[in-house]
Amino acid sequence: MQGLLKLARSIDWLNVQVGKVVIWLIMASTAISALNALVRYIFNTSSNAFLEVQWYLFAWSFLVAAGFTLLNREHVRIDVINSRLPKKAQIWIDIVGFALFLTPVCLLVLYYCVPMLMQKYASGEMSGNPGGLIRWPVWLALPIGFTLLMLQGWSELIKRLAFLTGDGPDPTVKAGEKTAEEELAEVLRERAAAEERAGVSPAPQR
């Protein structure tokens, strides 16, 4: 299990580095969009290349950052029922989801998109718009993004199995986020401190 946890930490580190790079892709997309609007306003001209590179960068940013988003548990989750279940039940739901849903979907996307990427690279397919860009660089984001997402799914799976075996901490708690027990202990400490300041002896803890 320790070897698998080391692998999970390596995957986490990789997606953290990717997340740091994606910030710059978003900034570049914003800068290009502003520059294009400025040129169009001042010189009454524009370029399809400027427009397309914006969505190229946007596509790269949200596709390759999918693993980083999963690492930080920022994907949309429907927790109306799941959050009311015992912790072990929540962990098992995640394990089933990563093993039987996320991994097969990622493999299916890779199975179909890699040949399409190779075809577009070999043909040198260009945008149909005048002055547009070559297509394969934006398609490259698909296999990279889904590979990173699948790897992060495996990392989360390992961490949840480690939690069930007692070899790791609760992976559902974000870094810096307090558990319910820690929040309760903090509330009790604050209440005891307030009563002490008011000159009231704190009630004995049961």
Whether residue 189 is contained in a domain is answered as: no
| Window from 72-76, 95-99, 145-149 with minimum mean pLDDT | 72-76
Whether residue 44 is contained in a domain is answered as: yes
Whether residue 53 is contained in a domain is answered as: yes
Cβ atoms of 15 and 148 within 8 Å: the answer is yes
Domain that holds residue 75: 2-169
Residue listed under structure tokens 């580095």: 17
Whether residue 107 is contained in a domain is answered as: yes
Cβ atoms of 64 and 141 within 8 Å: the answer is yes
Whether residue 178 is contained in a domain is answered as: no
Whether residue 40 is contained in a domain is answered as: yes
Whether residue 199 is contained in a domain is answered as: no
Q: Which two tokens stand for residue 173?
A: 């708690």
CA max distance for the chain: 81
- Report the number of distinct structural domains present in the chain: 1
Whether residue 97 is contained in a domain is answered as: yes
| Window from 23-27, 74-78, 125-129, 201-205 with minimum mean pLDDT | 201-205
Interval 118-161: pLDDT, tens: 998 898 888 777 777 888 888 999 999 999 999 999 999 999 99
Greater pLDDT, 75 or 183: 75
Helices 141-164 and 2-43, axial angle in degrees (round to 10): 140
| Window from 36-45, 116-125, 197-206 with minimum mean pLDDT | 197-206
Cα angle, residue 91 at apex, residues 86 and 96 outer, rounded to 5°: 125
**pTM of this structure:** 0.76
Q: Which two tokens stand for residue 70?
A: 């999963």
